[in-house]
Amino acid sequence: MTTKYDELKDAIKDYGDAALANLVRCKGFGEAVVEGLADWLGCPPEKVAAVPPGGQFDPRHDYGEAAFSYHGQPVIRLEPIVFGICVAVENVEDSGSLWLRTAIRVEVTGETFDVFVANQAMLHVPLEFSGMLEPVYEAIHKELMAVFKTELADFHDNRYEQGIGFFVG
């Protein structure tokens, strides 16, 4: 006879199995996005890296598991996995480069991944995603471009021409 306690144990086992499956699938998805983005962008592979989704980072460092939000967590939870992706873009005027990073949140829901690239609309990508990542790459590109467009729009906004200023004295 199954007791109520046995039901709790079964529920916890099911939760643990689902949490581990979510983590493994989302990690594989993230690695595939990072691996394929350089080719889609038309840049050398070393220009794209998985990085932590927040805080300080250096795209020249191989973060491995530390690029994913579950890294360092004492317990695996059934929750979205977040990772950062960085594109190093060379400056036109000099030998420097700019490091562009965006966070990607992914979770398994039914037979798809729900994918959020920063402020872009949610994408649904099949669990069998081979050859199906172009919408994700498009969203990453759109998000990185939006950062620059917003900054330029603010810079060129004539409402600020006669606004705040500082005296040098």
| pLDDT tens for each residue of 57-104 | 998 999 999 999 999 899 899 999 999 999 998 876 666 778 889 999
Contact yes or no for 48/39 (Cβ under 8 A): no
Query: Which tens digits make up the pLDDT trace of 15-32?
Result: 999 999 999 999 999 999
Contact yes or no for 47/38 (Cβ under 8 A): yes
Q: Domain map of the chain by residue range?
A: 4-156
Query: Which tens digits make up the pLDDT trace of 50-62?
Result: 999 999 999 899 9
Contact yes or no for 48/34 (Cβ under 8 A): yes
Distance of alpha carbon 4 from alpha carbon 21, whole angstroms = 26
Task: Please give the model's pTM, rounded to 2 decimal places.
Answer: 0.83
How far is C-alpha 70 from the chain's CA centre? 13
